[in-house]
Amino acid sequence: MKTVKYILLVGDGMADYPVPELGNKTPLQVAYKPNMDSIAANGKSGLIKTVPDEMTPGSDAAICSVLGYDPRVYCTGRGPLEAPSRGIKLSGNDAAYRCNLITEQNGKLLDYSAGHISTEEATQLIDAIKKAFDQPGKIEFYSGLDYRHFLILRNFINPDLIDCTPPHDAIGTAVSAVLPKAKSPEAKLQAKLLRDLIEGSREILRFHPVNLAREKAGKRPGNLVWFWGGGRKPSMPTFKEKFGVKGAVISAVDLVKGIGAYAGMEVITVPGATGLANTNYEGKADAALEALKTNDLVFVHVEAPDEAGHVRDYKLKVKTIEDLDKRLLGRIIKGISEPYTIAILPDHPTPIKTGTHSRDPVPFAIASPSLKPDGVKQFDEDSAAKGSFGLVENNYLISILLSVNNM
Ligand SMILES: [Zn+2]
Q: What is the pLDDT of residues 84-143, one digit of tens each?
A: 999 999 999 999 999 999 999 999 999 999 999 999 999 999 999 999 999 999 999 999
Expressed in angstroms and rounded, the spacing between residue 352 Cα and the centre of ligand 1 is 12
pLDDT tens string 222-278: 999 999 999 999 999 999 999 999 999 999 999 999 999 999 999 999 988 877 778
Distance from the CA of 373 to the center of ligand 1, in angstroms? 32
Q: How far is CA 36 from CA 168, 206, 403, in A?
A: 33, 49, 21
Query: Mean pLDDT of successive 10-residue segments in the chain (407 residues)?
Result: 84 98 98 98 98 94 97 96 95 97 97 94 98 98 94 97 94 97 97 98 97 98 98 95 96 95 95 82 97 97 94 96 98 96 98 95 96 97 98 95 86
One-letter amino acid identity for 70?
D
Distance 138 CA to ligand 1 centre (A): 32
Termini Cα distance of the chain? 15
CA distance 90 to 96: 8
Q: Which residues contact 52 (CB under 8 A, 6 or more apart)?
A: 61, 65, 71, 72
Predicted confidence at residue 22, as pLDDT, reads 98
C-alpha of residue 82 to centroid of ligand 1, in Å: 14
CA of 182 to the centre of ligand 1 (A): 28
Contact in structure between 391 and 26 (CB atoms under 8 Å): no
Q: How far is the CA of 1 from the centre of ligand 1 (A)?
A: 40
Measured in Å, residue 358 CA sits from the centre of ligand 1 at 10
- Give me ligand 1 centre to Cα 312, in Å: 12
Cα of 309 to ligand 1 centre, how many Å?
A: 8
Contact 117, 146 (CB under 8 A): yes
Query: Is residue 75 within 8 Å of residue 232, measured between CB atoms?
Result: no
Sheet holding 266-268, edge to edge: 266-268, 247-250, 297-302, 5-11, 340-345, 362-367, 44-48, 390-392
Tell me the CA–centroid distance for residue 145 and ligand 1, in Å. Answer: 16
Give the pLDDT score at 1.
45
pLDDT at 272: 84
Rounded to the nearest angstrom, the distance between the alpha carbon of 16 and the centre of ligand 1 is: 13
Q: How far is the CA of 204 from the centre of ligand 1 (A)?
A: 31
Q: Which domains does the chain have, with CATH numbers?
A: 5-74+236-406 (3.40.720.10), 83-231 (no CATH)
Provide φ and ψ at 267, rounded to 5°.
-100, 115
